[in-house]
Amino acid sequence: MKIFWSFARQAFQYISVYRFNFFMEFILTLVRMYGIYWVWRILYTQRPGAFGVSMEQMVTYGVMGMVLELFIWSRPQWYMANQVKSGAIDTDLMKPLDFHVHMLARSTGESLIGIGVLAIPALIIAYLFLDVQFPPDMWTALMFVVSIVLGFLVFFHLNFLLGSLAVVALDIRHISWAYFSLVRFLGGQIVPLWLFPPVVAAIAEVLPFKGTYYIPISIYIGRLAGVEAIRALEFQLVWLIVLVLVSRMLWDWAHRRLVVQGG
């Protein structure tokens, strides 16, 4: 736990140096929240209660999608790609700390700061000005928190896998564009899975991406409740275990192939 806090402290120092950037990041999120708020308002004014959810639920879904981005704000793949490119990765590998755990600690630290500095203020604004609802009851709120933690871990491992690729491919800049838009889409950040055309929905249902946005937010708004919610949490957990195993294997493989440039 001490390692996590020390990385959180580091992230906080980083933020205080680039204060303006973080302020802008915050404003960006507000703009995104505002945008999606109106999209759903208009669509649900046209067809109230469409697809079994109310306008309030759908607006909450949309805005939470933007807020959640700040919860899972950490991007270990950039760090890994930079370290590989500059050759500084050898100092990371010499540390008496497993690299995978090191990255997880760093990401967790960064995310804790992201939640405190960006996500919580954004949430307050969402509650005050964008008609975002609270979860229906305490039990739902609790499941939501569990689901977010699982979602963060799933997302971290997807990112870590991409970062491991950087060791082999060196440049992941272009892949990451497609990767991010794919996570957003299949993760249901903007459009929930129940609106997808059947074929696309069937694919998105089995992939791990829906564990990042769709499951936590659907639980939050009460769309996934009771047994369904528990099933969804299990889904996240199973994928998490798979991703951890794959990450360990891929990293070991990449590590062996690692060529340090300069260093």
Instruction: Please report how close the Cβ of residue 130 comes to other proteins at its closest, in angstroms.
Output: 11
Tokens encoding 46: 């046209």
46 or 128: whose CB is closer to other proteins? 46
5 or 177: whose CB is closer to other proteins? 177
128 or 178: whose CB is closer to other proteins? 178
Instruction: Give the interface with other proteins as residue ranges (CB under 8 A).
Output: 18, 20-21, 24-25, 27-28, 31-32, 34-35, 38-39, 42-43, 46-47, 50-51, 171, 174-175, 177-178, 181-182, 184-185, 190-191, 195-197, 200
* Of 150, 120, 148, nearest in space to 220 by CA: 148
CA-CA-CA-CA torsion sign (232, 235, 237, 243): negative
Instruction: Please report how close the Cβ of residue 224 comes to other proteins at its closest, in angstroms.
Output: 19
Tokens encoding 145: 């928190």
Instruction: Please report how close the Cβ of residue 71 comes to other proteins at its closest, in angstroms.
Output: 19
12 or 34: whose CB is closer to other proteins? 34
Per DSSP, the residues of 171-238 read --HHHHHHHHHHHHHHTTSSS-GGGS-HHHHHHHHHSGGGGTTHHHHHHHHTSS-HHHHHHHHHHHHH
153 or 172: whose CB is closer to other proteins? 172
Instruction: Please report how close the Cβ of residue 47 comes to other proteins at its closest, in angstroms.
Output: 6
Alpha carbon distances (Å) from 56 to 22, 32, 53: 29, 17, 8
Instruction: Please report how close the Cβ of residue 76 comes to other proteins at its closest, in angstroms.
Output: 20
Per DSSP, the residues of 83-94 read HHHHSTHHHHHH
